[in-house]
Amino acid sequence: MRDESRDFLFRLLEAAGPSNYEAEAARVWRAEAEGFCAAVTADVNGNAIARLRDDAAEGAPKVLLTGHIDEIGLIVTHLNDNGTLAFRGIGGWDPQVLVGQRVRVLARGGALTGVVGRKAIHLLRGEDRDRAVKLEDLWIDLGFAKKEETAGRVRVGDPAVIDAKPVLLENGLIASRALDDRCCAFIALEALRLLAEGDAPYADVYAAATVQEEITMRGARTVAAALAPDVAIALDVTHASDRPGVSAEEVGEHGCGSGAAINRGSVSNEALVDLLIATAEREGLAYTLEAAGGRSGTDADALVVTGKGWRAASSRSPAATCTPRSRSSASPTWTPAASWPPPSARSARRPISPPLTVLSGEC
């Protein structure tokens, strides 16, 4: 990975952007896109959209790469009399990981640092010592002693995120909050960067950093409705099967750094799955296969039911920690979609029916 690309990824990961509050992260993404894309815009929901070039041939297929930019977070639900904050989750949380975490509350007057507390285990009795913690057992402590102090700085509805910077681990791994799914919003834009550095693609290519995937998938719906792409590739994350206690029989065999996991079934279109597989094999890029009998759990689930309804395909790759090597090798996997349809089909200029094909690529 190039230094400038790594710097962009880290800036994107450091920005706060829980679902429905993605403005800070979206600004980072748009600023990077403005360096090499013909047009960069934002819609009313907060989606950031980049168009590679504005001189595509008439009738060229429109290709969209998406990665959602929102992250799971917390939201303040009550100001307690003792100055602490009650909260609930934005998106799905395992409450166990929150205990003792430092958090950043995104208040109107500026971010405030706090810690997540719970009743000390020394004071728990009976079954309470053994049961899993729930969100309602936790609070955020900002250091205030009274509700009146807190009320001057925090309002009900203020969001919060874990306050942790990305770190480099051994063997090139990155650990960070918001890898789901900033790493794939990053990949979508890096694919456009690669296309901008080469020959102009046949297709009219867009990338979108979508919002609210963790709660409603509303961002993907509005992007698809506005752009009406012929092909869409939704990028997201999946489970790494090479970590303790994770069964490949349950999640598929996708070790960290094993490349894109190409999803078959559910919303996946087999012709485009075959295109991705053929591309990876031709270019010598690592990939695995993942099966989904129902929802893909990605923006593709929204893309395929927007407008007239669309054909779809999906692929994923593992990231709880992620490796820059797999991130940088993933972008070339998606760029051949910009050459779609193949040259033999271009002269006929046959319409696609239905008009959109979606690849949900999880990175």
pLDDT at 90: 97
Which pair of tokens denotes residue 84?
Answer: 């602490």
213 is catalytic: yes
Residue 43, token pair as written in the block: 């819609």
pLDDT, average across residues 242-248: 88
Confidence of residue 260 (pLDDT cuts 50, 70, 90): confident
Question: How many beta carbons lie within 10 A of that of residue 57, not counting itself?
Answer: 11
CA–CA separation, 328 vs 190, rounded Å?
Answer: 8
pLDDT band at 233 (very low <50, low <70, confident <90, very high): confident
**Residue 86 · residue 156 · CB < 8 Å:** no
Mean pLDDT lowest for which of 57-66, 148-157, 296-305?
296-305
Catalytic residue among 22, 190, 213, 290: 213
Three-class SS state of 8: helix
Instruction: Read off the tokens for 285.
Output: 């890029």
- For the cut 50, the answer to whether the pLDDT of residue 350 exceeds it is no
| Residue 143 scores a pLDDT above 90 | yes
Please name each of the domains of the chain with its CATH number. Answer: 3-71+178-362 (3.40.630.10), 73-162 (2.40.30.40)
Confidence of residue 269 (pLDDT cuts 50, 70, 90): confident
> Does the structure show a pLDDT above 90 at 323?
no
pLDDT score of 356: 40
Confidence of residue 322 (pLDDT cuts 50, 70, 90): low
Task: State how far the Cα of 77 lies from the Cα of 88, in Å rounded to an integer.
Answer: 7
State pLDDT tens for residues 53-64.
999 988 899 999
Q: In whole angstroms, what is the distance from residue 40 CA to residue 19 CA?
A: 21
- The answer, yes or no, to whether residue 331 has pLDDT greater than 70, is no
Strand partners, 49: 41, 208
Using the predicted structure, report yes or no on whether residue 6 has a pLDDT greater than 50: yes
